[in-house]
Structure 1
């Protein structure tokens, strides 16, 4: 047992909290992708989901995708290239500016995002059945009280990059 800054005692080392949070995140993401594979999206990867969210329903330029993800235009371009190869996105002429290319989600991209949302709902229900709905609601409320709203963006993937 060790003392905290305010003098109180606890028997849980502080380093375990971030490890448990990331392990919970990883568990959800791994289960999501296993189910997405079963539902026809075996090539989907976590980074692609963040990128498709950054592209959004209205499309975006590669620069905008990079800004939204917190990565360079070149890094975003590589991810967009892979999304195109897999049929999740396409580059088209921007109807408002013929000099620019717009990245848009294809029907396959929208399908992956729609299925992901439904799968996350199922995973949340499974967690609620395991720990109890009130406890899960409480966990989410607690996390909302300590996590800044801006931290809920799609640029999370860039935070892990060197």
Structure 2
């Protein structure tokens, strides 16, 4: 019985559980570092906004949600001090959403935390196994960049 292949449904659940574990650890540490209000959806939204800013429509498209849903997330991020609305230098009729220094800091800290969490996996599994896992996933995952549309995908 031990040689039996695991059922196919376990693979996506294990991948999701690994993702969830990393994200939960990330947010616990972000809270300790002064970002207690950042939620996973906010992290995806800040990634969608990017270094150069974006309009609410662009953010919605990148997240896979409506412009209105994106606007609500932007409103919350603005209230928390992570983003700001400014005039778009390319089009005076629209607003550009940009990350504030607080938003940039939260993303920079998240990157540091992810590096440390990966190092923990290396400590537990060994560098070769983690590298092999990453390489294997790159082989089977479409090469379309890293999606930030998780909020819309789950919705």
| TM-score, L = length of structure 2 | 0.96
Structure 1 unpaired stretches of 5+: 2-8
The residue that corresponds to 2:121 in the other structure is: 127
The residue that corresponds to 1:20 in the other structure is: 14
Distance 2:120 2:7 in 1: 28
**1:156: how far off?**
2.2
Distance 2:32 2:88 in 1: 35
**Which of 64, 71, 91 does residue 70 from structure 1 map onto?**
64
Structure 2 unpaired stretches of 5+: none
The residue that corresponds to 1:32 in the other structure is: 26
**Number of residue pairs matched by the alignment:** 154
Note the aligned Cα RMSD (angstroms): 1.2
Distance 1:124 1:74, change over 3 A: same
**1:98: how far off?**
1.1
Distance 2:24 2:88 in 1: 35
The residue that corresponds to 2:51 in the other structure is: 57
**1:151: how far off?**
6.3
Structure with more contact order per residue of length (Cα contacts < 8 Å, sep ≥ 6):
2
Which one has a bigger Cα radius of gyration?
Answer: 1
**1:96: how far off?**
1.9
Distance 1:71 1:31 in 2: 26
The residue that corresponds to 1:6 in the other structure is: none
User: SS state of the match for residue 144, structure 2?
Assistant: helix
The residue that corresponds to 2:103 in the other structure is: 109
Which stretches of structure 1, 4 residues or longer, exceed 2 Å deviation after superposition? none
The residue that corresponds to 1:94 in the other structure is: 88
**1:100: how far off?**
0.6
1:146 counterpart = 2:140: yes
**CA shift digits 1:12-56 (9 cap, x unpaired):** 111111110000000000000000000000000000000000000
| TM-score, L = length of structure 1 | 0.92
